Amino acid sequence: MDRLNELTIVEARDALEKGTCTSVDLTKACLAEIESRNPALNAFLEVWEADALEAAARSDERRSRGESLGPLDGIPLAIKDNILIEGKHASSGSKILEPYIAISDATVIQKLKSQGAVFLGRTNMDEFAMGSSTEHSAYGPTKHPTDPDRVPGGSSGGSACAVAAHLAFAALGSDTGGSIRQPASFCGIVGLKPTYGRVSRSGLMAMASSFDQIGPLTKSVEDAAILFKAIHGADVMDQTTAREQTTFEPAWRDRLEGLRIGLPKQAWGEGIDPGVRERVMAAVEVFRSLGAQIIDVDLPYVDEVLAVYYVVMPCEVSANLSRFDGMRYGVRHQASNLMETYLETRREYIGDEPRRRILLGTYALSSGYYDAYYRKAKQVQTLIRNAYASAMTQVDFLLTPTAPSVAFKMGEKTSDPLAMYLEDLFTVGANVVGLPAVSIPCGEDGGLPVGLQLTGRAFEESSLLAVARAYEQSVSA
């Protein structure tokens, strides 16, 4: 069987069950593609070839004994560089953590190990997950999988590129304001941001703790469901995971009669590339042809969502990154006194974008400004949550573009932070209110992928992915 690395998880699982290939075959196919393409793409920061082949061989032995651990047993995956794997380097794309080796597994890694997944290596990302292009990595940018002059999106750009370029069958990323969905859109794959509290954050390097969620990047909706099912669930190591969780069992369907899909009026104004608008509106007609009712809905405070996010998120960044001071983790610049050691370590080993956000957050939390910025942002966040709750009583899902543009050129927005932040226009809402959202491909504009985003109700990933798959199946038929 040729080009094994281009299979989906579902296809690879079927091939393993039929005996037409082995996990070692799948892993070698990915490793060969990594060796061939990663030097140009820079999707992987580190590849664990020996460990991956050993894990694959163990999977094949289990399968030969009829003891397969499930649909991910023997499937090669890529892991974002901010998710801890015991005994492996984890730098979160930053020089300050270059020598850091994780002393324990993230909960999602424990779950995947228990199900026999094969880990190929750690993928590149914007430093501490702060960015929308993977140009802010301390280890160099990741390139778009089909156009090296363009970005793959971010901050999970390395994971998205690895999947789209068939270097891995699927990957884990993290999403704080769109960092799974936007690169999925740019690279033409599926990206799921679960409900906040649905997947444990234990072992994920925190950026903004009230927004962060781990989720899958995959080649198909069904693959996303398989990977999500493997990692979701309550966790005593993360008190923000929901104790009571609905069962995740997607009921795949071909038709969407009885479902209401809302188009937020405020999300279709200026700022969307004409080609993106055209492709997403064409997708709306596909949903209509499948029987869904398309409804225009009012979603107040859309303009305020981005502002709230870019106040609350830097405040949490300021608190979370205070631990990276050269004393407890990573490298240290030894200076004449303690304060200078702190300052010089951060100045030398933390990049411009994290420093910008630390400064913004520290300012917003400071005496005299806390009420004007942070407290006010949290009050408006409540209004936004109420607006989404009201909209979701009228419809079952919300549909928007995932990003206002296709993948932009390298360097195009790095000198203008505001332009980069506007890339999160459609994605941050789901993080601010904690709802699940998925990006799925809906065509191309000028040869570059376009993604549409579906947002569902809290803890209803089953129905969200079922609707996404119905669209996927319809356009691929």
Active site residue 155: yes
371, with CB counted inside 10 A (0-12, 13-18, 19+), is exposed
Q: Which residue of the set 23, 91, 159, 179 is catalytic?
A: 179
Active site residue 80: yes
Active site residue 415: no
Q: Which residue of the set 28, 59, 80, 132 is catalytic?
A: 80
DSSP E strands: which ranges in 359-417? 397-401
Minimal CA–CA distance to 112: which of 227, 12, 283?
227
DSSP E strands: which ranges in 225-316? 260-264, 293-297
Q: Which residue of the set 59, 133, 155, 159 is catalytic?
A: 155
- C-alpha 91/C-alpha 35 separation (Å) is 22
Minimal CA–CA distance to 285: which of 305, 252, 261?
261
65, HSE (Cβ side, Cα atoms, 13 Å): 7
Task: Give alpha helix (H) positions in 171-301.
Answer: 181-187, 221-231, 274-289
Give CA torsion, residues 442, 444, 449, 455, to 10 deg.
-20
- C-alpha 208/C-alpha 404 separation (Å) is 23
The answer to whether 301 touches 379, Cβ cutoff 8 Å, is no
Backbone dihedral region of 3: left (phi > 0), alpha (psi from -120 to 50 degrees) or beta?
Answer: left
Residue 420's CB: how many other CB atoms inside 10 A?
A: 21
Which residues have a catalytic role annotated? 80, 155, 179
